Amino acid sequence: MEEEFRGDEFRLRRVEHVEGDVEHVRERALEIAKVHEPLYRHKGQRSVFRIGADSFMTVMERADGVRPNSRFRVSVGELVPTEEYVEEAPTPEQGKGRRGIFHRKN
């Protein structure tokens, strides 16, 4: 999974399914952290940090020093089997103040 940092939070940008053992999947995550180009390309130094066994943080410093640095995180997650679940649409009263990773922000 690749997450992009915006403001004070990360947003899920892309999920890539990788077949193979754990080491192969971790190698792919590191490769993405090293070579991925964000939507807006930057010229400057790229630093990749391992922030856990299965996560990397990439910081792309801008050469101009004017605009803020860009950063994104690449994490390894295991797909686990689940039963199909269909959430009922919340009533207007239930939906108030409801924010989460998979809900649109208003």
Residue with tokens 């090293």: 34
Give per-residue pLDDT as tens, 84-106. 777 777 666 655 555 555 555 55
Residue 43 domain-assigned (yes or no): yes
Banded pLDDT at 16 (limits 50, 70, 90): confident
* pLDDT at residue number 41: 63
Domain that holds residue 58: 2-78
Adjacency order of strands within the sheet including 70-75: 9-14, 2-6, 70-75, 55-60, 46-52
Report if residue 6 sits inside a domain.
Answer: yes
On whether residue 95 sits in a domain, the answer given is no
pLDDT band for position 80 (cuts 50, 70, 90): confident
**Strand (E) or helix (H) holding 71:** strand 70-75
Domains held by the chain: number:
1
Among 4-13, 23-32, 72-81, 91-100, which stretch is predicted with the lowest mean pLDDT?
Answer: 91-100
Whether residue 14 is contained in a domain is answered as: yes
Residue 47 maps to a domain: yes
Residue labelled with tokens 């010229």: 43
Is residue 83 in some structural domain? no
* pTM of structure: 0.63
> Nearest CA to 32 among 64, 72, 5?
72
The verdict on residue 96 lying in a domain is: no
Q: What is the mean pLDDT of the chain?
A: 77
Domain assignment present for residue 87? The answer is: no
